[in-house]
């Protein structure tokens, strides 16, 4: 009986620890642009705030597209190129990361339907410690540069 109790207690403590990690992560100001014409790709942007221990975003998934990946832009041979992020995106302890145009973003390739202004879409970020974190993303107009007031945000502790 003592062994059973020890096993149950261990499993319960792992669940509590995992829940605590997820509670430390906040996703804010998530947005994307409405699709233009027959364009079948889209990119999503947001702010990740971490109020706990360091973590890492190791993946992303969605039913909206054939492929959903973490991407960034890199300069190679004097040309800016978009690339899939290998190894994940670090989220520092008590800090954050910006997913923004020209930097980190969620790339949705082969959209199953156009993104329409005013709708909300859903993706799931996969964290190394926090586990799965669902993200509701606001679809703005096709020429949007982000949610209102985003240019005034304090990025003091934000990477990228």
User: Would residue 130 count as lying in a domain?
Assistant: yes
Average pLDDT, the chain: 84
pLDDT band at 157 (very low <50, low <70, confident <90, very high): very low
**Has residue 157 been placed in a domain?**
no
- 33 within some domain: yes
Is residue 160 in a domain? no
User: How many domains does the chain contain in total?
Assistant: 1
Domain-located, residue 80: yes
Residue 148: strand, helix, or coil: coil
Contact 50, 19 (CB under 8 A): no
CATH of the domain at 27: 2.60.40.1890
Structure-model confidence comparison of residues 58 and 14, the more confident one: 58
Within-domain flag for 131: yes
* Structure confidence by residue, pLDDT tens digits, 109-152: 999 999 999 999 999 999 999 999 999 999 999 999 988 755 43
SS3 per residue for the chain: CHHHHHHHHHHHHHHHHHHHHHHHEEEEEEEEECCCCCCCEEEEEEEEEECCCCEEEEEEECCCEEEEEEEEEEEECCEEEEEECCCCEEECCCCEEEECCCCCEEEEEEECCCCCCCCEEEEEEEECCCEEEEEEEEEECCCCCCCCCHHHCCCCCEEC
pLDDT band at 21 (very low <50, low <70, confident <90, very high): low
Residue 80 has what pLDDT?
82
Note down the domain range covering 41.
Answer: 2-142
pLDDT (average), residues 77-106: 93
Residue of higher predicted confidence among 9 and 64: 64
pLDDT digits (tens, 9 = 90+) for 24-35: 999 999 999 999
151 in any annotated domain:
no
Report helix, strand or coil for 54.
Answer: coil
Q: For the chain, what's the residue count?
A: 160
């Amino acid at each position: 009986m003592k062994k059973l109790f020890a096993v149950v207690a261990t499993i319960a403590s792992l669940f509590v620890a995992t829940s605590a990690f997820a509670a430390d992560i906040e996703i804010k100001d998530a947005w994307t642009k409405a699709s233009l014409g027959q364009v079948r790709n889209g990119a999503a942007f947001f702010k990740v705030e971490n109020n706990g221990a360091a973590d890492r975003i190791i993946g992303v998934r969605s039913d909206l597209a054939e492929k959903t990946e973490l991407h960034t832009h890199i300069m190679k041979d004097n040309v800016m190129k978009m690339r899939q992020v290998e190894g994940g995106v670090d989220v520092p302890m008590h800090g954050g990361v910006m997913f923004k145009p020209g930097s980190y973003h969620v790339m949705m390739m082969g959209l199953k339907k156009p993104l329409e202004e005013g709708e909300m879409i859903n993706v799931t970020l996969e964290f190394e410690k926090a586990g799965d974190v669902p993200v509701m993303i606001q679809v703005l107009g096709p020429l949007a540069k982000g949610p209102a007031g985003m240019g005034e945000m304090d990025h003091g502790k934000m990477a990228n």
